[in-house]
Structure 1
Amino acid sequence: MKFALISQALPPGGSGQAMVIYRLLSPLSPDTYCLISQQDHNPQKGGPDYFGRLPGKYFHLPPEYPIAPEAARWRRRARILQGLLFGLFLRARRIAKIVRDERCEAIVACTGGDMLNLPAGYLASRKLRVPFYAYIFDDYANQLPTLRMIAKRLEPLMLKRAAGIITPNEFMRDTLRKRYGVEATIIRNPCDISQYKWSPDEEDAAKNGAGEIKIVYTGGVYGAHFDAFRRLIAAMQMLERPNLKLHIYTLDPVEELQAEGISGPSVVFNEYQKLSSIARVQQEADLLFLPLAFSSPFPELIKTSAPGKTGELLAARRPILVHAPPDSFISWYFRYHECGLVVDESDTSKLAEAIDRILTDKDLRRVLSDHAWERACTDFSSTHAQAEFAHLLNLDILNRNPAIKS
Structure 2
Amino acid sequence: MNRSVPQESLPVAGEHPSRLPKIAVVTTAAPPSASGQARVLERLMVPARVAPPVYLTDQLQALEAEGNRFGSYHSLGPPRHQLISPAPEALRKLNNYGGLLRSAMSRTKEITSILRNESVDAIVGCTASPFDLPAAYFASRRLKVPFVAYLFDDPIFQWEPGIYRWLARFWEPIWGRGAAAIIAPNEVLANDVRGRLPAAKIYIVRNPVDPAGFSNEPTGIPQDEPERHAGRPCRLLYTGSVYSAQASAFRNLNAALNRLAGRFELDVYTSQPITALAANGLDGPYVRHHAHTPQSTALSLQRNADVLFLPLSFDSAIPEAILSSSPAKLGEYLAAGTPILVHAPAGSFATELLRNADAGLIVDTSDPDRLVAALTTISNDPKLRRRLTKNAALLAEEFHVERARDAFCSVISSLDR
- TM-score past 0.5 threshold: yes
Q: Does 1:133 align with 2:148?
A: yes
Pairwise CA distance, 1:134: 0.3
How far off its partner does 1:279 sit?
1.0
Work out the CA distance in 1 between the residues paired with 2:219 and 2:278: 33
Measure, in 2, the Cα distance between the counterparts of 1:64 and 1:325.
34
User: By how many angstroms is 1:65 displaced?
Assistant: 5.4
Corresponding position of 1:399: none
Distance, in Å, in 2 between the alignment partners of 1:66 and 1:359 is 51
Cα distance change on mapping 1:127 and 1:71 into 2, 3 Å? farther
Match of 1:404 in 2: none
Q: Which AA in structure 2 matches 1:77?
A: K
C-alpha contact 1:12 1:53 (8 A) present in aligned 2: yes
Aligned AA for 1:226? A
Q: What residue is the counterpart of 1:150 in the other structure?
A: 167
CA contact (8 A) 2:22 2:50 kept: no
Find the residue that maps to 1:228 and give its secondary structure.
helix
Residue 389 (1) aligns with residue 404 (2): no
Of 172, 180, 193 in structure 1, the residue corresponding to residue 189 of structure 2 is: 172
Please say which of residues 360-369 and 93-102 is displaced more in the overlay.
93-102
SS at match of 1:269: strand
Q: State the Cα distance separating 1:32 from its structure 2 match.
A: 4.1
139-148 or 284-293, larger mean C-alpha shift: 139-148
Within 1, Cα distance between the matches of 2:42 and 2:323? 25
Q: Which moved more, 1:65-74 or 1:253-262?
A: 65-74
Partner deviation per Cα, 1:217-258 (whole Å, 9 max, x = no partner) = 111110001110110111122233x24111111111111222
Question: SS state of the match for residue 10, structure 1?
Answer: coil
SS of the residue 2:244 aligns to: coil
Q: Which amino acid aligns with 2:408?
A: F
Counterpart for residue 101 of structure 1: 117
For the pair 1:237 / 2:253, whether they are aligned, the reply is no
Taking the aligned partners of 1:372 and 1:141, their CA distance within structure 2 comes to: 31
TM-aligned CA deviation for residue 202 of structure 1: 5.2
Root-mean-square deviation over aligned CA pairs: 2.1
Is 1:82 equivalent to 2:102 in the alignment?
no
2:34 aligns to what?
A: 14
- What CA distance in whole angstroms lies between the structure 1 residues aligned with 2:141 and 2:27? 18
SS at match of 1:313: helix
Per the alignment, residue 373 of structure 1 pairs with 393
Deviation, structure 1 residue 124: 0.3
* 2:46 corresponding residue in structure 1: 26
Cα distance in 2 for residues equivalent to 1:266 and 1:139: 34
Q: Which runs of 5+ in 1 are unaligned?
A: 397-406
Deviations 1:5-32 (A, max 9, x none): 1100111110111111111113447744
Q: For the Cα contact (< 8 Å) 1:287–1:321, is it kept in 2?
A: yes
Q: Output the TM-score relative to the length of structure 2.
A: 0.88
Q: Which residue of 2 aligns with 1:61?
A: 76
For residues 29 and 327 of structure 1, the distance between their equivalents in structure 2, rounded to whole angstroms, comes to: 35
Distance 1:173 1:30 in 2: 25
Q: Distance in 1 between the 2:351 and 2:61 partners?
A: 36
Instruction: Tell me if the contact between 1:30 and 1:55 (Cα under 8 Å) persists in the aligned partners.
Output: no
1:228 counterpart residue number: 249
Matches within 5 A, 1:236-275: 236-240=257-261, 242-275=262-295
> Secondary structure at 2:148's aligned position in 1?
strand
> Which structure 2 segments of 5+ residues have no match?
1-20
Letter in 1 for 2:175: M
Cα pair 1:193 1:315 within 8 Å, conserved: no
Aligned counterparts of 2:368 and 2:101: Cα–Cα separation in 1: 46
Counterpart of 2:131? 116
In structure 2, the CA distance between the partners of 1:90 and 1:190, relative to structure 1 (3 Å rule), is: same
Matched with 1:307 is: 327
Does the CA-based 8 Å contact 1:176-1:183 persist in structure 2?
no
How far is the alpha carbon of 1:204 from its aligned partner?
4.5
2-structure distance, mates of 1:261, 1:40: 31
Contact 2:184–2:190 under 8 Å retained in 1 = yes
- Equivalent position SS for 1:69: coil
User: More helix per residue: 1 or 2?
Assistant: 1
SS in 2 for 1:140: coil
Q: Give the whole-Å Cα distance in 2 for the aligned partners of 1:299 and 1:375.
A: 26
Alignment of 1:328 onto 2:344: no
Counterpart residue number, 1:289: 309
CA distance in structure 2 between the partners assigned to 1:324 and 1:64 by the alignment = 34
Mapped partners of 2:93, 2:241: distance in 1: 32
User: Is the 2:123–2:140 Cα contact (8 Å) retained in structure 1?
Assistant: yes
Mapped partners of 1:143, 1:321: distance in 2:
24
CA 1:303–1:202 in 2, change beyond 3 Å: closer, same or farther? closer
Aligned to 1:322, the other structure's residue is in SS state strand
Contact 2:240–2:271 (8 Å) recurs in 1? yes
Q: Offset at 1:349? A: 1.1
Shift of 1:208: 5.5
Q: Cα distance 1:331–1:70, how it changes in 2: closer, same or farther (>3 A)?
A: closer
TM-score by length of 1: 0.90
Shift of 1:154: 1.1
| Aligned-partner Cα distance in 2 for 1:185–1:128 | 24
